[in-house]
Amino acid sequence: MRFNPQTADAHWQKIWEESGTFRASDDSARPKAYILEMFPYPSGRIHMGHVRNYTMGDVLARYKRMTGHNVLHPMGWDAFGMPAENAAMAKKVHPGEWTLANIETMKAQLKRLGFALDWSRELATCDPRYYGHEQALFLDLYEAGLVYRKDSEVNWDPVDMTVLANEQVIDGRGWRSGALVERRKLGQWFLKITDFAEELLDGLGTLDKWPDKVRLMQENWIGRSQGLSFRFRVDSAIAGYDALEVYTTRPDTIFGASFTAISPDHPIAQALAPQDPELAAFIAECKRGGTTAAELETAEKKGYDTGRTVAHPLDPEWKLPLWVANFVLMDYGTGAIFGVPGHDQRDFEFATKYGLPIRRVVAASPEAADAPVVGEADSGGGVIVNSQFLDGLSVEDAKTEVIRRAEAGGWGQGTTVWRLRDWGVSRQRYWGTPIPIVHCDGCGAVPVPREQLPIVLPDDVSFDIPGNPLDRHPTWSKAECPKCGAAARRETDTLDTFVDSSWYFIRFASQPADKPFDKAAAESWLPVDQYIGGVEHAILHLLYARFWTRALKRIGRLDVAEPFQGLFTQGMVTHASFSRVPEGEERPVYFEPSEVERGADGGYTLLATGEPVTVGRLEKMSKSKKNTVDPDVIVDQYGADAVRWFMLSDSPPERDLEWSEAGIEGAWRFVRRLWRLATELEGSEAGGEDRALKRKLHQTIAAVGKAIEALAFNKAVAALYELVNAVEKAPASADRAEAARTMLRLVAPMVPHVAEEAWQALGGEGLIADAPWPEADPALLVDDEVTIAVQVNGKLRDTLTAPKGTAREALEEMALASEKVMRVLEGKPPRKVIVVPDRLVNVVA
């Protein structure tokens, strides 16, 4: 009988579902294991990347169940977001309808893959039963002072009448409308993530089950820098400012200063502008400049000399000019700098352009103190020179000394500055969580009373004209001020969807109807033991979720500091793509694999025209590149197990996996082999021992368990292949029958359908999903005979077999007796013999 996934898959999926096999229990004596994969955005259909991601989590979840854990492995939908509104505009369908239809499709697709998910906890963020609680949490944070409103610059598309994310601005134009994007100041809501900068940074130190790469990326993003904040006295006060506060990480170069510069947005610049039309013009010019990385890269350093001067804090007679410069950022440090052209490249370019002095204050040695700085700034280390009392000190010592003097003299203090900015969460869009705030002319921004939650999105909206439908809805935004009762206006901005994904893992753990979560229940599951998802979320989602969790901890709602104890970032699924750049155009056109054919020379040509096409080998599957493979089609053809096995084979999970026909064929071959091996065994009741096979079995049990716990699925797969090969080759025996049965339990987390089917065929008790993970017998993990490598001068010359634990002297004797060794030695006595017991003998001639 052949294994037929078309019937077997559905059969076992139904049984698992009906018996509630994968339901998590809230009260269980077994140790908990919370396994979570990043929930998908319901974009339409599942893609191979999802399949790979969820298969990995599934193997771990099933393995944890078998090793006696109470497993929580839930699934839900990150259901708010722009694609739904784009679909609404393009297809005239309500975003909610579109989203729910997609969820239905994708849920069916996931079910076909046989994932061990607890569907009873399914949630969608676009459900008021979810986002209503999110509004309550937002208000909690608001009351705790962790939410504030501020005017902030945004990219405004004047045609679509919407705010655009930086990624949606292409060459200064809106990606959809093509209109020139304006910079506009709008009142925006912010979450005070900067309040948590230090603990978010320090907390990374506790995340030893996270990839170093991700911790490093977050560390850089948070960006702590230590330096000195100090004041230059202004010669005559400007708009009440009698001092200019600057920040530097190089206080050691304080004697190398040749100018000071402030950002065009600095209050002093703003105060001077009205009396100085030239300055006003310069500031306006700076504002026009683009903000893209490429533009900044090539942007010229430009400045305007205000004509004012400031006094050096260490020498009041030393006057420095005060410039306004385009490269000084208002939102980092104090928005003002002092320029040290000798040792900072930007300052060097600026000084060169405007003829300002370039002074050396750091040199490789005191003798090099007078060497001019030419060509570019000298960023090297060394000793301080030309700096009075700092001369001869190292850079580090000089930093400490200047900070000490500044603090003692009261003109500055050692400061920590962060790169991290507060999180702007306002989005001028419909399909998101409404921000529960009412704006009243008299009372300002007033939080919505709890009893009015959830603030539900109106259904009767249209997307015929651009802009936010909430804004122009006839009644929705009308509200009564909760404070004074006057007519007021509801906030029509919605929350960034990253807020939705910042706490869904808590809601999975506990979902009461009347509150976001129950503290004790949530704490019983959290933190997530293993979180798995794409590395593209290394910073934003993972940082926001960490922040949100810590914010809840601070306000006493949840006693969990870090939401994700273990993190794994899996690689993409890639596939060859076929493209051709048409004559006279720049952008390539992509073709379906069915539109091309392989020529005799190995190159590919277009079937229709015979024109050659370019093969892109390792590209992420995407619709625009026409290199996607629909999981449904593959499952139809090969069944869920073959797809799952392929997703786990070969490539290490953190690296990209190339989809190939040969790969899925190979996986399918393995599934059939397993089935054949198990069912052929039926009735072959030979007795007798097979020590070698038994040992192999136990070594495999240990190896597979270790590999799965390390998420090294490719290694688990390799170990299983070895076992299957060994069982196949072994003659019939009681040990062989036992090995085959045990083998099924070892493959069960990966290929659960064929495992259940074969388990049943072999008369296994109950479901294999409920079977315990086999235990490896430590006595069988070690071989009692070992192969010893025999080297001469570190070069392998021979091998010999010896009982484990053979004495050094005996091994040495055996090695020296080797014919091959004797031939190489040519009768000369060895100078030295190194023996590593049970491993090797190295004869040094």
Of residues 409 through 438, those in contact with RNA by CB under 7 A are 417, 419
Q: Least distance to RNA from the beta carbon of 751, Å?
A: 14
Q: Which residue has the tokens 């688990």?
A: 716
Q: Least distance to RNA from the beta carbon of 154, Å?
A: 16
Distance CA 610, CA 697 (A): 54
Q: Does residue 527 have a cis peptide bond before it, meaning omega lies within 30 degrees of 0?
A: yes
Task: Output the CA torsion sign for 232, 236, 238, 239.
Answer: positive
β-bridge pairing 567-570 and 530-534: parallel
Q: Least distance to RNA from the beta carbon of 816, Å?
A: 15
Amino acid at 599: G
Pick the stretch among 41-49, 328-336, 626-634, 771-779 that binds RNA (CB under 7 A). 328-336
Amino acid at 511: Q
Q: Cβ contacts of residue 582 below 8 Å, gap of 6+?
A: 589
Amino acid at 591: F
Residues in region 74-103 near RNA by CB under 7 A:
none
| Rg of the Cα atoms in the chain | 34
Q: Which is nearer to RNA, 159 or 217 (CB)?
A: 217
Give the DSSP H or E segment for 325.
strand 315-325
Distance CA 813, CA 830 (A): 12
Q: Least distance to RNA from the beta carbon of 794, Å?
A: 2
Q: List the one residue from 202, 665, 689, 777 that touches RNA (CB under 7 A).
A: 665
What does 677-723 look like in DSSP terms, one character per residue?
Answer: HHHHHTT-------HHHHHHHHHHHHHHHHHHHTT-HHHHHHHHHHH
Q: Which is nearer to RNA, 587 or 795 (CB)?
A: 795
Residues in region 681-740 near RNA by CB under 7 A:
712, 714-715, 717-718, 721-722, 725, 728-729
Q: Do residues 560 and 525 touch, judged by C-beta distance below 8 A?
A: no
Q: List the one residue from 392, 770, 793, 804 that touches RNA (CB under 7 A).
A: 793
- Smallest CA-to-CA distance from 505 within 537, 536, 478, 474 is with 537
Which residues on neighbouring strands pair with residue 321, listed in sequence order? 309
Q: In what order do the strands lie in the sheet with 530-534?
A: 70-72, 32-37, 530-534, 567-570
What are the Cα distances from residue 197, in Å, to 265, 417, 419, 541, 552? 25, 10, 9, 15, 15
Residue spans of alpha helices (H) in 42-153: 48-66, 82-91, 95-112, 128-143
Q: Which is nearer to RNA, 19 or 379 (CB)?
A: 379
Q: Which is nearer to RNA, 101 or 710 (CB)?
A: 710
Q: Which is nearer to RNA, 225 or 760 (CB)?
A: 225
Q: Which is nearer to RNA, 14 or 669 (CB)?
A: 669
Residues in region 139-168 near RNA by CB under 7 A:
none
Pick the stretch among 142-150, 327-335, 515-523, 765-773 that binds RNA (CB under 7 A). 327-335
Q: Which is nearer to RNA, 239 or 844 (CB)?
A: 844
Pick the stretch among 71-79, 454-462, 603-611, 649-657 that binds RNA (CB under 7 A). 649-657
Q: Cβ contacts of residue 164 below 8 Å, gap of 6+?
A: 154, 155, 156, 157, 174, 175, 181
- Smallest CA-to-CA distance from 35 within 68, 62, 66 is with 62
Residues in region 246-275 near RNA by CB under 7 A:
247-250, 263
Size of the site for RNA (CB under 7 A): 80
Q: Least distance to RNA from the beta carbon of 261, Å?
A: 8
Binding mask 743-782 for RNA (x = CB under 7 A): ----------------------------------------
Distance CA 165, CA 425 (A): 12
Pick the stretch among 292-300, 399-407, 497-505, 516-524 that binds RNA (CB under 7 A). 292-300
Q: List the one residue from 119, 175, 332, 411 that touches RNA (CB under 7 A).
A: 332
Should residue 304 be labelled a site residue for RNA when binding is judged by CB under 7 A?
Answer: no
Q: Which residue has the tokens 């306000």?
A: 555
Residues in region 800-829 near RNA by CB under 7 A:
820, 823
Should residue 297 be labelled a site residue for RNA when binding is judged by CB under 7 A?
Answer: yes
Q: Do residues 645 and 672 touch, judged by C-beta distance below 8 A?
A: no
Q: Which is nearer to RNA, 194 or 386 (CB)?
A: 194
Residues in region 174-233 near RNA by CB under 7 A:
212-213, 216-217, 220-221, 223, 225, 227
Q: Least distance to RNA from the beta carbon of 663, Å?
A: 6
Q: List the one residue from 299, 486, 487, 561 that touches RNA (CB under 7 A).
A: 299
Q: Least distance to RNA from the beta carbon of 220, Å?
A: 6
Q: Which is nearer to RNA, 765 or 831 (CB)?
A: 831
Residues in region 538-567 near RNA by CB under 7 A:
538-539
Distance CA 11, CA 817 (A): 64
Categorise residue 69: left if φ over 0, alpha if ψ from -120 to 50, beta otherwise: beta
Which residues on neighbouring strands pair with residue 785, listed in sequence order? 803
Q: Which is nearer to RNA, 523 or 656 (CB)?
A: 656
What is residue 160's DSSP assignment? T
Q: Which is nearer to RNA, 212 or 585 (CB)?
A: 212
Q: Least distance to RNA from the beta carbon of 730, Å?
A: 11
Residues in region 341-380 near RNA by CB under 7 A:
344, 346
Q: Which is nearer to RNA, 391 or 656 (CB)?
A: 656
Burial class (CB in 10 A: 0-12, 13-18, 19+), 830: middle
Q: Which is nearer to RNA, 119 or 221 (CB)?
A: 221
Q: Which is nearer to RNA, 182 or 728 (CB)?
A: 728
Give the DSSP H or E segment for 577.
strand 573-580
Q: List the one residue from 374, 520, 608, 662 that touches RNA (CB under 7 A).
A: 662
What does 291-314 look like in DSSP terms, one character per residue?
Answer: -SHHHHHHPPP-EEEEEEEEEETT
Q: Least distance to RNA from the beta carbon of 712, Å?
A: 7
Q: Do residues 727 and 740 touch, judged by C-beta distance below 8 A?
A: yes
Should residue 288 be labelled a site residue for RNA when binding is judged by CB under 7 A?
Answer: no
Binding mask 476-495 for RNA (x = CB under 7 A): --------------------
Should residue 293 be labelled a site residue for RNA when binding is judged by CB under 7 A?
Answer: yes
Q: Which residue has the tokens 């007519």?
A: 487
Q: List the one residue from 655, 691, 804, 808 that touches RNA (CB under 7 A).
A: 655
What is residue 356's DSSP assignment? -
Q: Which is nearer to RNA, 66 or 717 (CB)?
A: 717
Distance CA 51, CA 53 (A): 6
Distance CA 660, CA 831 (A): 55
Should residue 789 be labelled a site residue for RNA when binding is judged by CB under 7 A?
Answer: yes
Should residue 607 be labelled a site residue for RNA when binding is judged by CB under 7 A?
Answer: no
Q: Least distance to RNA from the beta carbon of 578, Å?
A: 18
Pick the stretch among 23-31, 331-339, 452-460, 461-469 that binds RNA (CB under 7 A). 331-339
Q: Which is nearer to RNA, 237 or 845 (CB)?
A: 845
